[in-house]
Structure 1
Amino acid sequence: MKQLIFALAVVMGFSGAARADTYRWVDDKGVVNFTDNPDLIPSKYRKRVRKSPSMTNPAPSPESEPESRPQRQSKPPVNKSDKKPTDSLSEQEWRSRFATLRAELKALQDGLPKKREALNQLHRKRTIYQRPQDRAAYNEQMDKIERDEARIKELEAQLSALDNEASRAGVPFEWRK
């Protein structure tokens, strides 16, 4: 399950950077899956896939198109209760994106103390016995911890970016929990 969450987070992270179409489907267990490669979609779910188009044209900045500002103001005001995110993602999709990132982040953060304790034990062994295999195990554990810490920073940045995206899209705070 953790691998699926990790894979989903990786796919979501790279799909935005690549600006490719994103495909979404829900499997038999109710897990929301995303990919940017339609060949990776299992055949039994292909009829249920929702395609989100790529975002090849980023939103223009107010400085680059001043004439677009009056057009936006000429639209009738929107009631906040009727407002739907402009990104056209559903509530479930927004919640899923936040939950996926937070679940992976929590799993990594919860696993770090155990890995650090194992590192301390390996350090003691290495100090006492001074065997080459103890040094190799210590270095491997240290690499795992460093990778986890780097991934945690990356996930925190992705979560912050997703929160900014949700703010721009007008997503309610309840959907971001």
Structure 2
Amino acid sequence: MHIGKFITVAVAVAGFSSGAMADTYQWVDDKGVVHFTDDTDRIPARYQKRVREIPSPKATSPSDDGVLQNQDTGLEPNLPGGLSEEEWRSRFAAIRTEMKDLREGLPKKQDELNQLRRMRIIHQRVQDRTSYSERKAEIDRDETRIKELEAQLSALEIEASRAGVPMEWRQ
């Protein structure tokens, strides 16, 4: 399910739940996954600074003519995808930062792998073989993660385009 649709469904469910008037909290983890909770104790400590409080919608009340009218929910209706500029920028930045860090670390790891390969060939020790295998696995994980992040960034670009997010917010 797309995050935008999920947010819409979550807000709609909260709006129809008369007994559930607690605020909802949202944060994006290091992998770009959006999380929701109504219990601040369930938010991991390292994401406490990234939490966005979504106020509970106010109840509807009948007007003089008997028609139900929504009271102010405190949510800004014109936000693309329901997220602020800061939240969109944060989502893009989190993915790009992790991708950049992984890409910058790869050359050093590949140099170390080449040195370990030489040591393995020259000395033929078990620990050299083990170190080589561990470094190779680490490089493979980093390369796989970069591909995952590229896919996440592409999906986020599509989501942002559909939501009408300005290009400058995607930087």
TM-score by length of 2: 0.62
> Please, which of 39, 43, 54 is the counterpart of residue 40 of structure 1?
43
Supply the distance in 1 between the matched residues of 2:170 and 2:55 (Cα, whole angstroms): 20
The CA RMSD over aligned residues, in Å, is: 2.9
Alignment counterpart, residue 9 of structure 1, candidates 17, 30, 35: 30
Give the Å deviation of 1:84.
3.9
Which of structures 1 and 2 has the bigger CA Rg? 2
User: Which residue number corresponds to residue 8 of structure 2?
Assistant: none
Q: Give the aligned partner of residue 169 of structure 2.
A: 175
Residue 126 of structure 1 contacts residue 135 of structure 1 at CA under 8 Å; is this kept in 2?
yes
Task: Tell me the distance in 1 between the aligned counterparts of 2:105 and 2:131.
Answer: 18
Query: Structure 1 residues 22 and 102 mapped into 2: Cα distance closer, same or farther (>3 Å)?
Result: farther
Structure 1 equivalent of residue 101 of structure 2? 107
Q: Deviations over 1:100-126 (max 9, x none)?
A: 100000000000000000000000000
Q: For 2:128, which of 113, 131, 134 is the aligned residue?
A: 134
Gaps (5+ residues) in structure 2? 1-27, 57-76
1:159 aligns with 2:162: no
Which residues in structure 2 correspond to 1:42-121 (within 5 Å)? 49-51=52-54, 84-121=78-115
> Matched residue pairs, number?
121
Matched, 1:123 2:108: no
SS of 1:87's equivalent in the other structure is helix
Deviations 1:78-105 (A, max 9, x none): xxxxx94441100000001001100000
| Aligned counterpart, 2:11 | none
Q: Percent identity?
A: 51
**How many Å apart are 1:173 and its aligned residue?**
0.2
User: Equivalents in 2 of 1:125, 1:166: separation in Å?
Assistant: 49
- Structure 1, unmatched stretches of 5+, are 1-6, 24-35, 54-82
Distance 2:44 2:141 in 1: 29
